Amino acid sequence: MSILLAAEVGPVPQEIAAHLQVVQLSSAFLLEKAWQDLKTLEAEYVRTPFFKTVFGQELGILPGMDSALALNALREYQASGHYDVIIYDGSGDHATLRMVGSPEILSWYGRRFRQVIVESDLGKAISPFVQPVSSTVFNVSGSGNDFAEPLARAEALLEGAKQRSQILLR
């Protein structure tokens, strides 16, 4: 891409012409950024964060992470409101379609298995212990709605990703 555009293209969007920015999605760069975001969330919700001694530079890219990281980057670029149009030059195969559809699939898994666990014997057996353990580990007061805000954020994130996936397919 750098040769075609006669400009150095890196992992951070840069303007190469008026109202035209380019970026080369780098899984390693995106993983480090996502890891830092996760550590920030962990510090917000966990009394004693345990990921603070693990750094993004030491993490490896597992199969399938490239697509997830790219989709998250596209989501963040679109959510920023800085772009009228985003063009993603991917492989254009079934893996790209799977990537774009993954928020819907993740949302379904979350809804389906949350209900399965709640209705299971295991879920019923551990439910009396969930609140005391969670209030010890997490920054919660002990009321039943303590997880409502983080769960709502996760659901909103998936819902937004599903809507953006529809835009990407057009």
Q: Is the dihedral of CA 169, 73, 47, 50 positive or negative?
A: positive
Q: Is residue 72 part of a domain?
A: no
Q: Is residue 94 part of a domain?
A: yes
Tokens (6 digits) for 152: 């709502």
For 24-62, the pLDDT digits (tens) are: 999 999 999 999 999 998 888 888 888 989 999 999 999
Q: Is residue 74 part of a domain?
A: no
Q: Is residue 10 part of a domain?
A: no
Split into its structural domains, the chain has a count of 1
Higher-confidence residue of 49 and 167: namely: 49
For 141-166, the pLDDT digits (tens) are: 555 555 556 666 777 777 776 666 65
Q: Is residue 114 part of a domain?
A: yes
Q: Is residue 163 part of a domain?
A: yes
Bridge partner residues of 15 (DSSP): 21
Q: Is residue 148 part of a domain?
A: yes
Q: Is residue 103 part of a domain?
A: yes
Residue type, 137: V
Global pTM value? 0.69
Q: What domain range is 98 assigned to?
A: 90-170
Burial (CB count <10 Å: 0-12, 13-18, 19+), residue 81: exposed
